[in-house]
Structure 1
Amino acid sequence: MASPSPKRLPMARVSVGSNGRQIQLLTNHFRVHVGKKGCCFFQYSVALFYEDGRPVETKGIGRRVIDKVYETYATELQNKNFAYDGEKCLFTLSSLLRNKFEFTVVLDDISSNKVVRGGGPDSPDGSDKKRMRRPSHTKTFKVEISYANKIPMQAIVDALYGQESEKFPEAIRVLDIILRHRAAKQGYLLVRQSFFNVNSRRNYGDLDLGGGVRGCRGFHSSFRATQGGLTLNIDVSTTPILEPGSVVEFLLKNQNVRHASKIDWTKAKRMLKNLRIKANNIEYKITGLSDKPCKDQTFPLRQGRDANGEVQSIEVTVREYFERHKKIPLRDSIYLPCINVGKPKRPSYFPMELCTLVSLQRYTKALTDLQRAALVEKSRQKPQQHKKALADVCCEFKNNYGNEPMLCSSGITVDPLFTRVEGRVLQAPRLSFGNGENFLPRNGRWNFNNRKLAIPVEIKDWAVVNFSAGDKVHSLVRSLMECARMKGVTMDDPTGVFEEEKSMRCKPAPIRVEKMYEIVKQNLSGRPQLLLCILPQRKNSHIYGPWKKRNLVDEGVVTQCVALPKMNNQYLTNVLLKINAKLGGMNSFLAIEKSPSNIPLVSRVPTLILGMDVSHGSPGRDVPSIAAVVSSRYWPLISQYRASVRSQSPKVELIANLFKPGSNGEDDGIFRELLEDFIATSGSRPEHIIIFRDGVSESQFNQVLNIELDQIIQACKHYKDNWNPKFTLIIAQKNHHTKFFHARAAKTGENVPPGTVIDNGICHPKNNDFYMCAHTGRIGTSRPTHYHVLCNEIGFSTDGLQELVHCLSYVYQRSTTAVSVVAPICYAHLAAAQVAQFIKFDESSESSSSHGGHTSAGAPHVPPELPRLHKSVANSMFFC
């Protein structure tokens, strides 16, 4: 889709807000002083080739090669300090003597010829003779370094004064690369803009995540342009890494088995592939496992040449080679597969007991629910702890980077003190419950004790299905019905409680679901209003996906999944809130929603609110991404929503099907579906459309403005000529590293209060953005949401827009607290994640093949279409 012309750009800030009481805060942005404004960075392109001219595509070897170049050719390069990004760019502070250099260097290879090989230099057929001319423990590289660009530091100064500067992002990138280059030289693990080192003083405490995975603490750093000047944003960070040590011990922990005989070697092969091990004090990358155990796996061992010059060899086992020729006795690993560190046609084997995983290897597989929960739990820090950890980071940063040659030479210095900013605390909106009761939340929280739901539903025809072996089902039903009565919900006795047959509990999840539905249909005369599903376990139940798909797609039945819990009133209330919202009721409103004048530019003009998000598959899985858009209903209300969900190409963040004209001329896009629902429930077309978009980085803002927004505009024009509604487009970011702390010493142990908004000091020097902590931080340190207003055709004032955002954090129907990001985005995230379960747990061979992302050569990747929701539930808040 071509971007419209002229190209839209993010809007500039018009003013800062004034509503709310003032509060003094500290933030983890540290002032950066740019001393030498006239200096420039010189960028050089780096190209690496093997001796035969093939380009080097292996990641991670670039830094070793460039270090060798500077070690060997320091005079030609004038002994200049440099920063290298590890791939194709190198930076210096003054130009080199020539615009192009060509060097040749020889590196010690990470592999060794002292390996049991099947093929290659030690093979009996004498293959690969060219490699035999040089010992295999060295490798030759050709390096081309050529001038590419000149980046003035003045670009940073210009941007700080709000002037357009094309070189500004490049200049900031150079400063970040300088820090990354220094960290790499010191042996840190680099993960984007975060650095990790197991010897760091911050790695205290037990961060065992289970399964052979540990949490490693490090720090994030990034230079940011703000209203107060250039800052360095520093934050503590945690990433999962592999436990270094014995490969066998790792596999035992990873698969939660006690003996190597119980290891699933198919899973082990997938887990170990591409991990780095050390054997004979040399590092290797694992390429696979042998087909046979060590005692049976053979290879041709070269014995020399005969009188005719032919290579002579004998077949020996790996065990025999190491015990007889290397004098290394082997124990249990003789019954285990060997580690292969060679190539498919030239395998190189090591017995598993001789191999150890090297330290600081990032764990890139998908974490289990329990591991993810452990990572979150163990990396949490209260504000006072977090601030102390940041002080430690700053001390380490000063020691490691304070004398960094390129920073010093460019006049860059960093203030070690937290930046002081002024925030404002907005008053919470008043909520409306049943029986006309209004309530002002305190500290971002409320409850339903002795309160009725605002619009309770009547649940006449419902049933229970039990996949659990627990015996507390009837007790759960009685308690839920009593809780419903107290909250004003009419809930009759269930028409049936259906137990799963014991013989089915070991069957695949889809078969269990089908069998259960047979029982349901045999015992119920029609479609029930609700099915309460009791899952066999709370975390990662394989029943969940197939059960949701069967109900929402095939049967059109609203379903609520629970696990047999400790049945307290809070848990039951939370379940009831979800059920009531799914069945069309409302738990609470903003008191101002039904007033025609209290929500500026929303209450008086038909206004549609959209929340948009994209869910991606787990790392390493090439499954379609899921785009979800939720829209408000029954204007002038802003508390009730429905969703439209579609699949798209894997790992694609931009939403592709907002406008989708078909061959018959009809628009089958997401927006048209939501627009028709708004018109049906509200009685008119929206003249104002407010869009909240989640999950995009700053580099994608222009694409959202000029591709996604343009799709919606096209859909509007396709629906009716000359219809030009006004738009406000806001990006919400949670994936950032800005934190806020009380400036008053007496408050250092507390999080900032809910409703805190910051739009000065550390926000963008030109663009319209602000930070908001709408929620109360009960656990850990609150992370504010960073809102970027890209477009405001509707004309909200700064205070008006911030108040709207704040109010939309209080309309999340499944919670009794204000949420950290506006409810429409929360709903979009829930809808995408729930429908993604349809793919995650689809075990049919047809789906498995189509989800793999494989197409014929040259054919474009076409993601499989998601099944559309049944018309009986499509308009519901099924995602609650």
Structure 2
Amino acid sequence: MDPCGRSQAGSSSAPLPPSSAIAPAKDELFPALRRDFGRIGHKVQLLTNHFNVWLDTKENFFYLYNVNLTYDDNGNPVTGKSIGRRVMDKVLVTYANSLQGKGFAYDGEHNLFTLGSLAQNLFQLKVVLDDVYSGSAGGSIIPQGGAGKRMKRQSQSKTIKVQIRFAAKIPIKSIVSVLRGQETEHFQEAINVLDVVLRDHAAKKGCLLVRQSFFKGDKCTGIGGGALACHGFYTSFRATQGGLTLNVDASTTVVIQQGPVMDFLLSNQNLRVPQDIDWNKAKRTLKNLRVKVSPSGKEGKITGLSERICREQTFMMKRRNGDREVEVTVYEYFVHHRNISLGYSADFPCINIGKPKHPNYVPIEFCELVSLQRYTKALSVQQRASIVETSRQKPRDRMKFLIDALRTNNYDKNGFLCSAGISIYPDFTRVEGRVLPTPKLICGNNESFVPRNGRWNFNNKRLWTACKIEKWAVVNFSFRCNTNQICETLMRCGNMKGVNVSNPLGIFEEDPRLRRSSPFERVDSIFKNMENSLSEPPMFILCILPERKNSDIYGPWKRKCLSIIGIVNQCIVPTRVNDQYMTNVLLKINAKLGGLNSILTIENKMEPSFATRIPTMIFGMDVSHGPPGRSDIPSIAAVVGSTHWPCLSRYRASVRNQSPRTEMIASLFMPGPENKDNGIIRELLQDFCSNTGKRPEQIIIFRDGVAESQFSQVLNIELDQIMEACKFFDEHWNPRFLLIVAQKIHHTKFFQAGSPENVQPGTIVDNQVCHPNRNDFYLCAHAGMIGTTRPTHYYVLYDELNLHADELQGLVHSLCYVYQRSTTAVSLVAPICYAHLAAAQMGQFIKYDEASESASSHGGVTSSCEVLVPELPRLNRKVQSSMFFV
């Protein structure tokens, strides 16, 4: 494999010529190998939440067995991981002799792992479990003992057939091979075995399992809406340069508030009295949740609600002698036949824990939601903010939490780990990091400066390229704001920063009578007002929204401005109008209108780099998906490109939608009729060429949002599309490519040794906890002000530029300082941030009717159903080259 990541035949290690990258006959691409290590920056000693693992086993293989569980009476498969684990725990005890006392790790479904082989390749076993929930139909679940028909038991003893069949051997030495820098096909399978061992260990402790995160339920915080932020921990074995490690980190998930169902519904719908409950919404919310029925204590799963209230809902009850059936209400059954008085539930629907066609009704006051059930509905803005707030931990607090988690889990007592000779050291791993030099910036009047602690300001400074704000208007949807004060402050701040702000053409206040109209009607009405009042359309509009972040006007407003009319605009929700606030607004306006607030010195050729000496184009790519449970919402793919080389601070975006939950971007290269490419890459390339008069010789691609398991797709699908688009653009043009993936969703953290503070901005680590042979590094470019700083993990997947580590890392660090929206270094390179913003803003264009909410509550459209993807409105040509997204 060459440094670019191409598979090669023969023994030569020389890279292929650039033109071969887009030749018709393609080799499969693999992640690039590390070329060297960075040297620039002053060294710092750090601790990381990777714990060294010692592997010393005499066994050569893990053995994989397939497990098949079925009910003995009807042959139906056993569903549910919790029942599966109970079955296999019983197998381990009942058939200890047949298994020769050998322990195993079970994933709760079909995979069982052992260290060394079992005595047989096939086992056919039977076990009996007590209190297995069967979901059988009946009249009503009622307590035992009393008059009337005995209840038909939902939970009963069950005989379960267990088939264990040998499937494969997984070489343990594959772990050692990767640690030595040798790629092996079985490595990930072997690591997965160890991760299953930890999951099995956590399951036996009664934890809620969410992939590799485990939650006991003893650390929960309310976030509103009947939901709780549940705090636990994450574990994963990792192959690093320093050897095998266990990565342990804090983790948070959202669970349902346990307790009476009625209390949950009141909290979920933010109500005070049960009479106001929306029972259609309640039915969607409660479906598939588990409840404990009192006083029997048995558990069942909610399948729905009764169509009528408890007093009126009837079912056929057999008389004691069984001769005939009579129709009774659920209320009559409990009060008159069971002598059990009902309180508030008589006038509300019953809970159905049977089947839709064979219901099993229970009065709602007898049902309590059991603990540790995941909340899978879309979270509100307030809930998400609460999760962030409750999950923050200062570095020292996080370190203590992780040490406690490792100690309380007693991994050294796990039989499987002990048999495998696996020991986990209880101390944080020490690593050597470097703090990179802070990039120099330039603002107006060619004034250069160096940010301090990842921050700077424009006090007594002017913007690098200041636009003129002429022919502009103000639209006010809020009755709280003083629009005259806003205009005066904006003009004053603009003049101080070198931005010439004229008086607005007009200030348009919304008619208060329209505030109950639909968002589309409100937007159309105020635009008609402007058209009737102004002789020509404004070039810029400042829009004052009534609510922060979740205004229903925002989407229709952006669509009207950016897609239909083509007007640059800025939305604000000012809580306090002062110079600092309006200066921050001014930075966004200036960038949208074509100005630049500050640039890197390397862009001005004061300190040229490899990206400014040679025509270079930079792409940032991201895909935005709908909220959890909404599989009917299309994914939005956005790509931004730098189009004004040698400037690396100005970008334009191209955005398309695609099938829901699709991560790979499908519209990079779209050849069509008449020899025309309608893809994203050609659109951006045309802008670059028209603005610079050149074709880029180097193309640097930053990709966000993909996991390690998707690296091959990014290389062999997305990169291939980009190369094809370039070849289609000009078959004689052979640019060189650099592809870097940026990951924020990972669990590696760094701590300063001997200090309670976060690591310094610019801290970089490319050793010890990085991949044994691939080219990756961690960078904390920003200043972590709250909580523990999360570094960005950069993977170099493809490199035809043959960059030294210092060149590459320096560019990545510098691109965290060109984010035009703020005066701080950001945690991700700006092109990726811009792609994320563009996808989010264009996603606002698509509005869905309220009927889709019912689909989301039932899990949305399944993967087997074809989802109609509505066409995403295109940007108006007047604004398509602007930085509308900042």
What is the TM-score when the length of structure 2 is the normalising length? 0.92
Separation in structure 1 between the aligned mates of residue 470 and residue 854 of structure 2, nearest angstrom: 39
Tell me if 1:247 matches 2:256.
no
Residue matched to 1:664: 674
Question: Pairwise mapping of residues 610-629 of structure 1 onto structure 2 (< 5 A)?
Answer: 610-622=619-631, 623-629=633-639
Residue matched to 1:123: none
Are the equivalent residues in 1 in contact too, given 2:140–2:362 (CA < 8 A)?
no
For residues 89-120 of structure 1, the C-alpha deviation after alignment (integer angstroms, 9 at most, x for no partner) is 100112112112223344332257796449xx
Among 824, 843, 854, the alignment partner of 2:831 is 824
Separation in structure 2 between the aligned mates of residue 493 and residue 160 of structure 1, nearest angstrom: 66
Instruction: List gaps (5 residues or longer) in structure 2.
Output: 1-22, 142-148
Instruction: State the shift of 1:800 in Å.
Output: 0.1
Question: Pairwise mapping of residues 565-580 of structure 1 onto structure 2 (< 5 A)?
Answer: 565-580=575-590
Q: Which amino acid aligns with 1:604?
A: R
Residue matched to 1:704: 714
For residues 376-398 of structure 1, the C-alpha deviation after alignment (integer angstroms, 9 at most, x for no partner) is 1121111121222222222223x
Instruction: State the shift of 1:517 in Å.
Output: 2.3
Separation in structure 2 between the aligned mates of residue 827 and residue 851 of structure 1, nearest angstrom: 32
Among 144, 147, 150, the alignment partner of 2:169 is 150
Q: CA 1:859 to 1:695, structure 2 compared with 1: closer, same or farther past 3 Å? A: closer
**Higher mean displacement: 481-490 or 440-449:** 481-490
Residue matched to 2:504: 494
For residues 457-507 of structure 1, the C-alpha deviation after alignment (integer angstroms, 9 at most, x for no partner) is 111111122222214232222222222221111111222222222222223
Separation in structure 2 between the aligned mates of residue 341 and residue 851 of structure 1, nearest angstrom: 18
Are the equivalent residues in 2 in contact too, given 1:607–1:686 (CA < 8 A)?
yes
Residue matched to 1:7: 28
Tell me if 1:137 matches 2:137.
no
**Higher mean displacement: 857-866 or 583-592:** 857-866
Residue matched to 1:868: 874
State the secondary structure of the residue aligned to 2:197: helix
Tell me if 1:101 matches 2:131.
no
Are the equivalent residues in 1 in contact too, given 2:66–2:164 (CA < 8 A)?
yes
Separation in structure 1 between the aligned mates of residue 177 and residue 360 of structure 2, nearest angstrom: 57
Among 262, 268, 274, the alignment partner of 2:276 is 262
Q: CA 1:244 to 1:852, structure 2 compared with 1: closer, same or farther past 3 Å? A: closer
For residues 627-684 of structure 1, the C-alpha deviation after alignment (integer angstroms, 9 at most, x for no partner) is 1100001101100001111111111111111111123331111111111111111111
**Higher mean displacement: 382-391 or 602-611:** 382-391
Of all paired residues, the percent bearing the same amino acid is 55
Instruction: State the shift of 1:614 in Å.
Output: 0.5
Are the equivalent residues in 2 in contact too, given 1:27–1:421 (CA < 8 A)?
yes
Instruction: State the shift of 1:235 in Å.
Output: 0.8
Separation in structure 2 between the aligned mates of residue 847 and residue 420 of structure 1, nearest angstrom: 49
Residue matched to 2:494: 484
Are the equivalent residues in 1 in contact too, given 2:134–2:154 (CA < 8 A)?
no
Separation in structure 2 between the aligned mates of residue 804 and residue 812 of structure 1, nearest angstrom: 14
**Higher mean displacement: 64-73 or 290-299:** 64-73
Question: Pairwise mapping of residues 604-753 of structure 1 onto structure 2 (< 5 A)?
Answer: 604-622=613-631, 623-743=633-753, 745=754, 748-753=755-760
Among 539, 558, 563, the alignment partner of 2:573 is 563
Tell me if 1:163 matches 2:179.
no
Instruction: State the shift of 1:864 in Å.
Output: 2.4
For residues 50-96 of structure 1, the C-alpha deviation after alignment (integer angstroms, 9 at most, x for no partner) is 44344445555322332333344333323321101112210011211
Instruction: State the shift of 1:811 in Å.
Output: 0.2
Instruction: State the shift of 1:234 in Å.
Output: 0.6
**Higher mean displacement: 98-107 or 710-719:** 98-107
State the secondary structure of the residue aligned to 2:677: coil
Separation in structure 1 between the aligned mates of residue 660 and residue 188 of structure 2, nearest angstrom: 28
Residue matched to 1:225: 239
Instruction: State the shift of 1:805 in Å.
Output: 0.2
Separation in structure 2 between the aligned mates of residue 664 and residue 856 of structure 1, nearest angstrom: 37
Separation in structure 2 between the aligned mates of residue 843 and residue 59 of structure 1, nearest angstrom: 36
Q: Which amino acid aligns with 1:817?
A: T
Are the equivalent residues in 1 in contact too, given 2:751–2:758 (CA < 8 A)?
yes
Q: CA 1:60 to 1:329, structure 2 compared with 1: closer, same or farther past 3 Å? A: same
Q: Which amino acid aligns with 1:293?
A: I
Instruction: State the shift of 1:609 in Å.
Output: 0.2
Q: CA 1:404 to 1:855, structure 2 compared with 1: closer, same or farther past 3 Å? A: closer
Are the equivalent residues in 2 in contact too, given 1:596–1:604 (CA < 8 A)?
no
Separation in structure 2 between the aligned mates of residue 218 and residue 237 of structure 1, nearest angstrom: 5
Residue matched to 1:588: 598
Instruction: State the shift of 1:865 in Å.
Output: 2.1
Residue matched to 1:792: 799
Separation in structure 2 between the aligned mates of residue 223 and residue 587 of structure 1, nearest angstrom: 44
Are the equivalent residues in 1 in contact too, given 2:623–2:636 (CA < 8 A)?
yes
Residue matched to 2:343: 331
Instruction: State the shift of 1:751 in Å.
Output: 0.8
Residue matched to 2:407: 395
Instruction: State the shift of 1:221 in Å.
Output: 0.6
Q: CA 1:462 to 1:851, structure 2 compared with 1: closer, same or farther past 3 Å? A: farther
Q: Which amino acid aligns with 2:68?
A: A
Q: Which amino acid aligns with 1:868?
A: R
State the secondary structure of the residue aligned to 2:556: helix
Among 82, 85, 90, the alignment partner of 2:107 is 85
Separation in structure 2 between the aligned mates of residue 135 and residue 194 of structure 1, nearest angstrom: 32
State the secondary structure of the residue aligned to 2:488: helix
Are the equivalent residues in 1 in contact too, given 2:285–2:857 (CA < 8 A)?
no
Q: CA 1:136 to 1:852, structure 2 compared with 1: closer, same or farther past 3 Å? A: closer
State the secondary structure of the residue aligned to 2:821: coil
State the secondary structure of the residue aligned to 1:470: coil
Residue matched to 2:304: 288
Q: CA 1:775 to 1:327, structure 2 compared with 1: closer, same or farther past 3 Å? A: same
Q: CA 1:848 to 1:590, structure 2 compared with 1: closer, same or farther past 3 Å? A: farther
Q: Which amino acid aligns with 1:239?
A: T
Separation in structure 2 between the aligned mates of residue 3 and residue 167 of structure 1, nearest angstrom: 31
Instruction: State the shift of 1:524 in Å.
Output: 2.6
State the secondary structure of the residue aligned to 1:593: helix
Residue matched to 2:416: 406
Among 188, 199, 208, the alignment partner of 1:189 is 208
Residue matched to 2:67: 46
What is the TM-score when the length of structure 1 is the normalising length? 0.93
Q: Which amino acid aligns with 1:741?
A: F
Residue matched to 1:762: 769
Q: Which amino acid aligns with 2:394?
A: K
Q: Which amino acid aligns with 2:46?
A: L
Are the equivalent residues in 2 in contact too, given 1:38–1:152 (CA < 8 A)?
no
Q: Which amino acid aligns with 1:161?
A: R
Q: CA 1:665 to 1:142, structure 2 compared with 1: closer, same or farther past 3 Å? A: farther
Instruction: State the shift of 1:265 in Å.
Output: 1.5
Among 178, 190, 213, the alignment partner of 2:227 is 213
Separation in structure 2 between the aligned mates of residue 741 and residue 365 of structure 1, nearest angstrom: 35
Are the equivalent residues in 1 in contact too, given 2:630–2:855 (CA < 8 A)?
no
Residue matched to 1:122: none
Residue matched to 1:121: none
Separation in structure 2 between the aligned mates of residue 852 and residue 46 of structure 1, nearest angstrom: 30
State the secondary structure of the residue aligned to 1:207: strand
Instruction: State the shift of 1:358 in Å.
Output: 0.7
For residues 248-291 of structure 1, the C-alpha deviation after alignment (integer angstroms, 9 at most, x for no partner) is 11111111111111111222111111111111311111111111
CA RMSD in angstroms, aligned pairs only: 2.5
**Higher mean displacement: 235-244 or 56-65:** 56-65
Tell me if 1:522 matches 2:532.
yes
Instruction: State the shift of 1:784 in Å.
Output: 0.4
Instruction: State the shift of 1:317 in Å.
Output: 1.2
Residue matched to 1:386: 398
Separation in structure 2 between the aligned mates of residue 860 and residue 195 of structure 1, nearest angstrom: 35
Separation in structure 1 between the aligned mates of residue 476 and residue 82 of structure 2, nearest angstrom: 51
Separation in structure 1 between the aligned mates of residue 341 and residue 849 of structure 2, nearest angstrom: 45
For residues 829-868 of structure 1, the C-alpha deviation after alignment (integer angstroms, 9 at most, x for no partner) is 11111111222x4449899999999999988545222111
State the secondary structure of the residue aligned to 1:61: helix
**Higher mean displacement: 2-11 or 731-740:** 2-11
**Higher mean displacement: 63-72 or 819-828:** 63-72
**Higher mean displacement: 242-251 or 614-623:** 242-251
